[in-house]
Structure 1
Amino acid sequence: MSGWGSFILAAAAFFLSHTIPVRSSVKPWIVARIGAKGFGLIYSILSLVIFVWLIVAANRAPYVPLWEKAAWMPYVTISIMFVVCLMLSFSIARPNPFSFGGVRNESFEPAHLGIVRLTRHPLLVALALWSFAHLLPNGDLSHVILFAAFGIFALLGCKMINQRTRRKMSEAGKDYDALWVATRAGSLFSGCENSASVFLAVSQQLV
């Protein structure tokens, strides 16, 4: 299969693989059989393979131009990617009980938030920014569909994870809303809260 057929099949595989295995009715069943580490390993490998397949399929799809690439567009992408890289560097390997990717979540302290002061879902917001940053200089139909879908999927993921995390905290006897309200009094960086006010206003609209 080639052309649009391969692209559609790869896109379907990508979104199904990122929704079905993590459902509350599916993931526990898989984890019970292969363990949490096994699930994480297999899920990561599967996601990477399908992601590469989707990118290759988008490149091989028939070229249908929607707008011409201007000389200034890559500079916009590079500027946004600088922000994305900062968000990733501040997000990885830090406690974040509100989203995926957090480690040592039991040590999370509302008074020492880091990037969680900006958004509950820094990795997903970074993915959305990455997607929309690459949308501009790639003005053909397959890549517009690809990057727009990535961005929308990331933002919808914020809402989905909010609901899932609230349910899990409730089952564990924890108050999700109270914990999130407590973070509003925390610090982004010591003495630097005012400089982040603009980013805070924007991110709150996203999540």
Structure 2
Amino acid sequence: MDLGMVLILAGLALWWGAHLFKRVAPEKRATMGDGGKGLVTLLLLAGLVLMVLGYRWTEWVSVYVPLPGMGHLNNTLMLVSVFLFGVGGTKGLLYPKMRHPMLWGTVIWSLAHLLVNGDRASIVLFGGIGLWALVTMVIINRSAPWAPPTNGRGIKGDAMNLVGTLALYGAIAYVHIWLGHSPFVGTYP
């Protein structure tokens, strides 16, 4: 196993562990107080850095060849994903109707990336984060029933979210292009 894959797996372990700590050991997390938030944030950032470096440094091993035209589906799914990330913050029409919009956005993000990346590192990284989101939803759903929120902004929230989605999508596309992986030209290597 190359160093890049080791870093991806270590980053995923930190990501899963830091996120699930509160769900799996709520008493232990509560005893840490506000200082625990800083530790969790640090672990998440470390995990993110390890995953990014690992992904960039890993040996490219093809597992499958993405189907032609998947770049278009990826771009569309990414717009949906980014929009779902903003549902909780902008409190539009979906806010009281959908449980876990950010986690569903993560699952869609993961699937979108698996449609255009058929290499081993992508399967481990994007599949690992998508699986984390699904497991997290199951854990949350088993621990507490959902009471739909009632304080949404309606269409105004959706309009705010749409503007934010387009701006963030543009920034994400710019970073991908800067890194040499344009989401608008061809497919990823």
TM-score of the pair, normalised by structure 1: 0.62
| Residue from 107, 119, 127 that aligns with 1:128 | 107
Paired position in structure 1 for 2:179: none
- Aligned residue for 1:119, secondary structure, equals coil
Compute the displacement of 1:126 (Å). 0.7
Larger Rg, first or second structure (1 or 2): 1
Structure 1 or 2: larger helix share?
A: 2
Paired position in structure 1 for 2:58: 61
Q: 1:140 to 1:86 in 2, by over 3 A?
A: same
> What is the CA distance between 1:158 and its match in structure 2?
1.1
- Equivalents in 1 of 2:140, 2:12: separation in Å? 21
Q: What corresponds to 2:49 in structure 1?
A: 52
Distance 1:81 1:10 in 2: 23
- Deviation of the 1:29 alpha carbon: 1.4
How far off is 1:85 after superposition?
2.2
In 2, the alpha carbon distance for the partners of 1:117 and 1:91 equals 9
Q: 1:30 is matched with which residue: 29, 32, 40? A: 32
Q: Residues 141-198 of structure 1: CA distance to partner in whole angstroms, max 9, x if unpaired?
A: 111121112112101211211233x2xxxxxxxxx46x45x98xx99957xxxxxxxx
1:114 counterpart letter in structure 2: L
The unaligned stretches of length 5 or more in structure 2 are: 156-189
- In 2, are the aligned partners of 1:14 and 1:47 still within 8 Å (CA)? yes
Tell me by how many angstroms 1:117 deviates.
3.8
| Kept after mapping to 2: 8 A contact 1:117/1:188 | no
If asked which structure has higher relative contact order (CA below 8 Å, sep 6+), I would say 2
Alpha-carbon deviation of 1:17? 2.2
User: How many residue pairs were aligned?
Assistant: 153
List runs of 5+ in structure 1 lacking aligned partners: 95-112, 167-175, 191-207
Q: Tell me how far apart the structure 1 counterparts of residues 66 and 117 of structure 2 sit (CA, whole Å).
A: 7
Instruction: State the secondary structure of the residue aligned to 1:116.
Output: coil
1:80 corresponds to 2:74: no
Identity of aligned residues (%): 21
Native 8 Å contact 1:115 1:188 kept in 2: no
CA distance in 2, matches of 1:73, 1:30: 45
Structure-2 change in CA distance of 1:3 and 1:85 (3 Å): closer
Cα pair distance change 1:58/1:116, threshold 3 Å:
same
- Is residue 12 from structure 1 mapped to residue 13 from structure 2 by the alignment? yes
TM-score by length of 2: 0.67
1:121, distance to aligned residue in structure 2 (A): 0.6
Matched, 1:159 2:150: no
* Distance change (3 Å), C-alpha of 1:8 and 1:89: closer
Pairing 1:98-137 to 2, within 5 Å after superposition: 114-137=93-116
Q: Once the 2 structures are TM-superposed, how far is the Cα of residue 124 of structure 1 from its aligned partner?
A: 0.6
